[in-house]
Structure 1
């Protein structure tokens, strides 16, 4: 939309009188000449599920792609094209990118992630794409950059009143999941993930728990929620061993203050195992599956 001036050309055609329409379109198209994507650099901030797909798609279009995500997961890294370059800092990414696309949540550390100082690092005439969250961009600094031509276009589905009619802002509705198929797919996904959690203890796409998924290997499984503090895994293993239970497989993940452990046992879960675990300080919940 931004590199080829599609929206501006669309508005031009819609505003033309019907008389001599074809001639007017041909005469006016030179005013909307754009630029091609191959050879341009796309910087992606946040390489989660969506960021990785954008990176791979842009690379397939012939763009140079650089990414920054200090918390990239192993799962995302496996899916990312080997040709996507790593930026060692977010400032390095901004200084090299003709286009910058954001794919991060809005938390304290990402608020006003694009600010006056980082806008100054951008190449002249860069384009900003924000389909992540509203507060990631310092809007006052952005307006100043748009007016000065430092930023050529701002493409977003989080428009605010004072930017929606700006000639350099391409504002769209928040249409990411607005399809008939998405409604069904989301419902099926939620049902499957809840079922997997209830039956196997696996956690996917949680906003406050670590992503935890382990194939079943033993006869029964323990799903343990506990505080993310030192020596919890050691105490949990000891509590299981003290109940004469043998661990077949084990997975421990943490996120902020919360940790989650899955343990597959060789035998059935005894009351002694449950009692031993519940006596450990820092244990929040214990489920036998």
Structure 2
């Protein structure tokens, strides 16, 4: 029996994914957390906590190193809210080009009376817009969200350019061959009417869209950032908006520089705030946790390597340990020393940590207890589990 603790409101459709072998919010010593926005940086992790699944793509609210030191694998749910974000990007491009907000605000404030219909008909020309068809869209980052935005742009008749130096082979399958691939960021933005950013936040992407990049953009271009705060230099964006060289900046990441600025469309962080996205993310998170707890396999981890190996033996040892020399030798020697034959061994490393799965058959209960204890005594090991095949 496994225990799951939830933080925030997790969609019940996601929790329904758990089998009868799981208890939800019935233990103070859970095996896994399902979270959304709760900040865990000051949180004390229970020793028993094996997994944290974030129902969403972002994971800045999880202290990844701290989790690793506790032997806790952290997951996110990439792609679960991708369609919701895509729709918001498309909506904002239409809102921007058709002056929808200004027109609606004017109509709401227009004086009432018998001539209101005539007035609105006469003055509507002040809100004339332009269509998206034929305009140039550049998508920076072609992952789950970016690929959907690029394809949707094509569907609207836009000319789409994509830029992603780290594009995976799997992601490439989801992008239309009609999307032009740019070799450099400079080439990607040079002629774009719209530039939208969909990259993860890390050391390489902080400040990716800086003053030099914005200056190199086509005059009167529109910039959208629904990725993460800090990827666009907001102060630089304001500078070029005030010069009139950047037409609009649209984002759901607020900062002091943007408040009250003309030609900034600012909204709460609602990219993934749809009923469908919350359900999708909760379902994915529940599936990730179950797979990990029941088989040891890891998919969509943000602090450990992804590793999937068929579980075809009676038993599986899983170890989270420092990525140092001779770990596999130590693990294999201990297990073989008890006369247990290793049926399969899988290992992956990520930065300073590694994950090892060892499959075996025909172990007595005494051997199981002994090996668990001996493997836990390896100084660089932070967690050992023994999983029995169902």
The alignment's TM-score, normalised by the length of structure 1, stands at 0.81
In structure 2, the residue matched to 1:260 is 355
Shift of 1:146: 0.7
What is the total number of aligned residue pairs between the two structures? 286
Q: Aligned to 2:223, what secondary structure does the other structure show? A: strand
In structure 1, the residue matched to 2:385 is 287
Q: Aligned to 2:265, what secondary structure does the other structure show? A: strand
Higher relative CO (Cα under 8 Å, sequence separation at least 6) belongs to: 2
| Per-residue deviation, residues 155-196 of structure 1 (Å, max 9, x unmatched) | 111133442332311112222233445445444433332112
In structure 2, the residue matched to 1:99 is 194
In structure 1, the residue matched to 2:203 is 108
Structure 1 distance, partners of 2:247, 2:348, is 43
Pairing partner for 1:16 from 93, 110, 113: 110
Pairing partner for 1:190 from 280, 285, 289: 285
C-alpha contact 2:341 2:361 (8 A) present in aligned 1: no
In structure 1, the residue matched to 2:141 is 46
Structure 1 distance, partners of 2:193, 2:328, is 47
Matches within 5 A, 1:148-187: 148-187=243-282
Q: Cα gap change, 1:65/1:21 in structure 2, threshold over 3 Å: closer, same or farther?
A: same
Structure 1 distance, partners of 2:183, 2:151, is 19
Matches within 5 A, 1:120-159: 120-159=215-254
C-alpha contact 2:197 2:225 (8 A) present in aligned 1: yes
The alignment's TM-score, normalised by the length of structure 2, stands at 0.62
Shift of 1:16: 1.3
Q: Cα gap change, 1:118/1:235 in structure 2, threshold over 3 Å: closer, same or farther?
A: farther
Tell me the C-alpha RMSD between the 2 structures: 3.2
In structure 2, the residue matched to 1:246 is 343
In structure 2, the residue matched to 1:82 is 177
C-alpha contact 2:234 2:257 (8 A) present in aligned 1: no
Q: Cα gap change, 1:255/1:77 in structure 2, threshold over 3 Å: closer, same or farther?
A: farther
Q: Aligned to 1:145, what secondary structure does the other structure show? A: helix
68-77 or 140-149: bigger deviation: 68-77
52-61 or 278-287: bigger deviation: 278-287
Gapped runs of 5+ residues in structure 1? Answer: none
Shift of 1:234: 7.9
| Per-residue deviation, residues 256-276 of structure 1 (Å, max 9, x unmatched) | 33333445x473567597688
| Per-residue deviation, residues 10-66 of structure 1 (Å, max 9, x unmatched) | 222222112222222222222222222233222222222222222222222222322
